[in-house]
């Protein structure tokens, strides 16, 4: 994890940083002490993030936190609730400063009995209600909103903007199956006796323990699975079965041949099977940077790698919660490469203008018009 680009609110979301703040994980404490020694210029930022985290948790120091945790665990055991069991669903509580935490989240972080989750934007709605027989939609993000949370089995998830995750009713009973519409990064909790299965409109992904990203927005021309570590099996709706190795991605074209969606590199052409609508390729790295394009959104970085303006517009709509309208279809085919770290939408468009000629205007707070 590259923490050098993190702001205070990003550190607050990081589990190891939370453990450092509370002193509950010696390894995390050692890591952050060593990291601060190596980056003394970040000491003020880390201190500010630590103050924010402790205030959000009621100002608890490590000793008080541990005491509360023991009493919380004893109370659960008295009610017959053991570690690994699912606690009753909790109601979000909104603080005056706009942050939302689940009730008892401080103690639950260590026990894994309930979901601990912080929403980094004020005034957001609660998770959506059910979306079909046999599953309940319990995690959802709006355009312009990203969320990080932990599933009941310990799997860590970062949900990108305009995405929804449904867990099957049997998730807590050994059947770790869920459905995704949108994009999410998964760090799977290992359980060899219970495979983890993700359903999307175009494929099923089966894993035992791994970290990977799935991009499956319904309005995109392609869907992608990017593997960081481990091994996954992907069964496509067209009947293909594909195994991915670390640092590989699978790209599926929905309605056209792959080469009609994007130009093929020599490697892509070698791995594309004749007559199919998919290819296997390496993950894309930014030169002179450790960033992986396919995962850049997890670190709040917006990266384009020879993307069409049409694809970029869809990303910007989700990223900033706006609608973008083209007054010229020719503009959709323009291609751009660039990366942005928490820039405003206006600044992003201004930078893109430097490489290709186009103009833009804001009709209101939620609509942007692009024209020659």
What CATH number did the domain enclosing 313 receive?
Answer: 3.55.50.30
> Is 339 a domain residue?
yes
Q: Which residue has the higher pLDDT, 256 or 182?
A: 182
Q: Round to whole Å and give the CA distance between 81 and 104.
A: 15
> Is 53 a domain residue?
no
> Is 329 a domain residue?
yes
Q: Which pLDDT value is given to residue 266?
A: 45
Short-list 217, 226, 211, CA closest to 163: 217
Alpha carbon distances (Å) from 225 to 182, 215, 304 = 12, 6, 17
> Is 308 a domain residue?
yes
Specify the DSSP class assigned to residue 327. Answer: S
> Is 138 a domain residue?
no
CA 36 remoteness from chain centre: 26
Q: Round to whole Å and give the CA distance between 68 and 60.
A: 9
**Which secondary-structure segment (H or E) carries 343?**
none
Task: Give the DSSP per-residue string, 210-227.
Answer: -EEEEEE-TTSSEEEEEE
Instruction: Please count the structural domains in the chain.
Output: 1
Dihedral (Cα; 289, 294, 296, 302), 10-degree rounding: 100
Say what percent of the chain tops pLDDT 90.
Answer: 31
Structural domain boundaries enclosing 362? 300-371
Specify the DSSP class assigned to residue 91. Answer: P
Q: Which pLDDT value is given to residue 288?
A: 66
User: SS3 sequence, 240-295?
Assistant: CEEEECCCEEEEEECCCCHHHHCCCCHHHHHHCCCCCCEEEEECCECCCCCCEHHH
Q: Which residue has the higher pLDDT, 152 or 88?
A: 152
The model carries a pTM of 0.61
**Close Cβ partners of 227 (under 8 Å, ≥ 6 residues apart):** 210, 211, 212, 244, 245, 246, 247, 248, 249
- Rounded to an integer, the average pLDDT of 354-366 is 89
Q: Round to whole Å and give the CA distance between 235 and 96.
A: 46
> Is 271 a domain residue?
no
For strands 203-207 and 211-216, give the pairing: unpaired
Greatest extent of the chain over all pairs of C-alpha atoms, in Å: 68
Q: Which two three-digit tokens encode residue 336?
A: 């751009």
pLDDT score of 332 more than 90: yes
> Is 343 a domain residue?
yes
pLDDT score of 185 more than 90: yes
Q: Which residues pair with 26 in a beta bridge?
A: none
- Are 293 and 284 within 8 A, CB to CB? yes
Lowest mean pLDDT among 22-31, 116-125, 349-358: 116-125
Say what percent of the chain tops pLDDT 70.
Answer: 70
Q: Round to whole Å and give the CA distance between 190 and 182.
A: 24
CB atoms within 10 A of CB 74: 9
> Is 84 a domain residue?
no
Residues 245-293: pLDDT tens digits? 999 999 998 876 655 555 545 445 445 554 457 888 889 887 666 778 8
Q: Which residue has the higher pLDDT, 160 or 113?
A: 160
Q: Which two three-digit tokens encode residue 193?
A: 């006796």
- Are 60 and 54 within 8 A, CB to CB? yes
Q: Which pLDDT value is given to residue 77?
A: 62
Specify the DSSP class assigned to residue 239. Answer: S
Q: Which pLDDT value is given to residue 370?
A: 95
Short-list 163, 147, 142, CA closest to 115: 147
Short-list 201, 195, 194, CA closest to 180: 201
For strands 367-371 and 359-364, give the pairing: antiparallel
Short-list 230, 128, 134, CA closest to 182: 128
Q: Round to whole Å and give the CA distance between 9 and 14.
A: 9
181-203: b or e for each residue (b if 16 or more CB lie within 10 Å)? Answer: bbbbbbbbbeeeebebbbbbebb
């Amino acid at each position: 994890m590259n923490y050098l680009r993190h702001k205070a609110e990003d550190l607050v979301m990081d589990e190891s940083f939370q453990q450092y703040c509370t002193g509950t994980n010696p390894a995390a404490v050692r890591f952050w002490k060593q990291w601060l020694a190596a980056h003394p210029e970040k000491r003020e930022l880390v201190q500010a993030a630590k103050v924010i985290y402790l205030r959000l948790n009621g100002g608890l120091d490590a000793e008080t936190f541990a005491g509360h945790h023991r009493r919380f665990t004893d109370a659960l055991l008295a009610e017959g609730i053991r570690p690994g069991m699912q606690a009753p669903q909790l109601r979000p509580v909104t603080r005056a400063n706009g942050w939302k935490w689940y009730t008892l989240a401080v103690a639950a972080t260590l026990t894994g009995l309930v979901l601990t989750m912080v929403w980094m934007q004020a005034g957001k709605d609660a998770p959506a209600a059910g979306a079909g027989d046999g599953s309940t939609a319990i995690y959802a993000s709006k355009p312009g909103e990203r969320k990080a949370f932990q599933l009941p089995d310990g799997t860590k998830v970062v949900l990108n903007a305009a995405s929804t995750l449904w867990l099957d009713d049997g998730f807590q009973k050994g059947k770790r199956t869920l459905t995704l519409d949108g994009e999410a990064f998964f760090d799977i909790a290992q359980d060899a006796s219970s495979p983890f299965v993700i359903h999307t409109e175009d494929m099923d992904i089966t894993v035992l323990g791994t970290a990977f990203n799935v991009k499956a927005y319904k309005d995109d021309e392609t869907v992608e699975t990017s593997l960081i570590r481990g091994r996954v099996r992907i069964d496509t709706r067209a009947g293909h079965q594909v195994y991915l190795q670390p640092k590989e991605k699978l790209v599926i074209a929905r309605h056209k041949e792959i080469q009609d969606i994007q130009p093929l590199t020599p490697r892509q052409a070698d791995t594309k099977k004749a007559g199919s609508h998919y290819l296997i390729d390496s993950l894309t790295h930014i030169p002179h940077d450790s960033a992986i394009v396919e995962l850049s959104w997890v670190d709040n970085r917006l990266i384009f790698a020879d993307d069409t303006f049409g694809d970029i517009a869809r990303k910007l709509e989700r990223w900033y919660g706006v609608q973008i309208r083209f007054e010229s279809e020719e503009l959709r085919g323009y291609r751009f490469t660039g990366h942005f770290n928490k820039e405003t939408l206006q600044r992003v468009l201004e930078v893109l203008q430097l490489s290709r000629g186009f103009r833009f205007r804001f009709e209101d707070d939620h609509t942007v018009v692009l024209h020659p």
